[in-house]
Structure 1
Amino acid sequence: MAETTEDLIAVTAQTVADWLDAGEVVLVDVRETKEYDLEHIAGALLMPLSELDADVFPVLGDKKLVLHCAIGKRSAAAGRMLLKAGHAQVLHMEGGLTAWKAAGLPVEEAIADHAAQEKVAPLFLCPTPGAVLREEYLTPNGLSPEALAGKIGVAVSTLTRLIAGERPVDAELSLRLARYFSTAADFWLQLQIEHDIERTRHALGETIRGAIRPRAA
């Protein structure tokens, strides 16, 4: 590891590669979508710096969080934003993708033949509430949607559609899930908000930034 600056820790590309192989890290690419589409590290999640909102950035659990960009400047800026917003230890990859390739580490590249190219879909940090429900609450506890529906007093179709990403969480469902799983009352609504904001940023963020000028103080 390199020296720590303002509590932002820089790690080498090889260290990040080792952590990825061991499944110990969440790697976040803060470059823009067009850069990501051209080439990216396999398994890296996309969260462009231009769209990053530190206040709604999700907590990622026990795994290390490492940010990276092209040469390390944007990832350092993003890391300091997250630290200032109160996030726990944040790391960034020193030298960015340039250092990664210089170390002989692999990247996934766009297909040269643009006629046959399939656009690389960005990966997202904020899952649907249904995915969280399935992966963190139902599966670990051996619960089926049918069993949970009976315990919280909703139709089975409500949960199956939620898990499939076909319906959002509303206030009532958030309260019912919170009561059963002993979470904060707004926990499930916050998951929905983070998911919706992230998708909308990717779809409309650039259009909104171009069309609306911030109000002067």
Structure 2
Amino acid sequence: MEKLMLLPTIKKFIWNEFMEPLNISVKKMAHDIDVPETGIQHVLAGKKEVSAELSIKLGKYFGVSDDIFFNIQKDIDMRKAKRMNQKSFNKIKPFPRKKNNISLA
């Protein structure tokens, strides 16, 4: 049986890459980016996802791309969905299309 790696979490990314090295508390960060402290706590606890708005605020605060946190959250969500629903996804057969008649628009 294949051993699965643990999925990354947004908490580990935010905490390990930013908060811990910069010695920033939840309270200070929440105050500095003008969001409720509970909102940050919920994200770090895995009870809430990083929204586009929060990603922009965190990006500006930490001096990184404003979509990095949002993109990492979505990547984690995609990995989780694939892992949890792999059997169901494997049952789906692609819709047959003619080779010269493909349009993605």
- Shorter chain as denominator, the TM-score bin is 0.7 to 0.9
Letter in 1 for 2:80: R
Answer 1 or 2: which has greater helix percent: 2
Kindly indicate whether residue 89 of structure 2 is the aligned counterpart of residue 208 of structure 1. Answer: yes
CA deviations over 1:113-167 (Å, ceiling 9, x no partner): xxxxxxxxx522xx22222111110000110000100110000001111111110
Structure 1 moving runs of 4+ over 3 Å: none
Q: Which amino acid aligns with 2:55?
A: S
Q: Aligned equivalents of 1:182 and 1:159: distance in 2?
A: 18
User: How many residue pairs align between the two structures?
Assistant: 97
Distance 1:170 1:147 in 2: 19
2:34 maps to which residue? 153
Deviations 1:10-42 (A, max 9, x none): xxxxxxxxxxxxxxxxxxxxxxxxx125xxxxx
Matches within 5 A, 1:1-217: 35-36=1-2, 46=4, 122-124=5-7, 127-210=8-91, 212-216=92-96, 217=99
Instruction: Give distance in 1, aligned partners of 2:6 and 2:56.
Output: 29
Query: Aligned partners of 2:94 and 2:67: how far apart in 1?
Result: 30
Q: Unaligned 5+ residue runs, structure 2?
A: 100-105
Residue in structure 2 matched with residue 117 of structure 1 by the alignment: none
Please report the RMSD computed on the Cα atoms of aligned residues, expressed in angstroms.
1.3
Counterpart residue identity of residue 53, structure 2: E
**Structure 1: runs of 5 or more not aligned:** 1-34, 38-45, 47-121
**DSSP-derived class of the 2:2 partner:** helix
Q: Find the aligned partners of 1:132 and 1:168 in 2 and give their Cα distance.
A: 13
Separation in 2 of the partners of 1:215 and 1:186? 33
Normalized per residue, which structure has more strand? 1
Residue deviations 1:74-130 (CA, integer Å, cap 9, x gap): xxxxxxxxxxxxxxxxxxxxxxxxxxxxxxxxxxxxxxxxxxxxxxxx522xx2222
Between the aligned partners of 2:68 and 2:93, the Cα distance in structure 1 is 32
Name the SS of the counterpart of 1:165 in structure 2.
Answer: coil
Q: How far apart, CA to CA, are the structure 2 residues paired with 1:213 and 1:207? A: 11
What is the CA-CA distance between 1:215 and the residue it aligns to? 2.5
Percent identity (aligned): 26
Q: CA deviation at 1:179?
A: 0.7
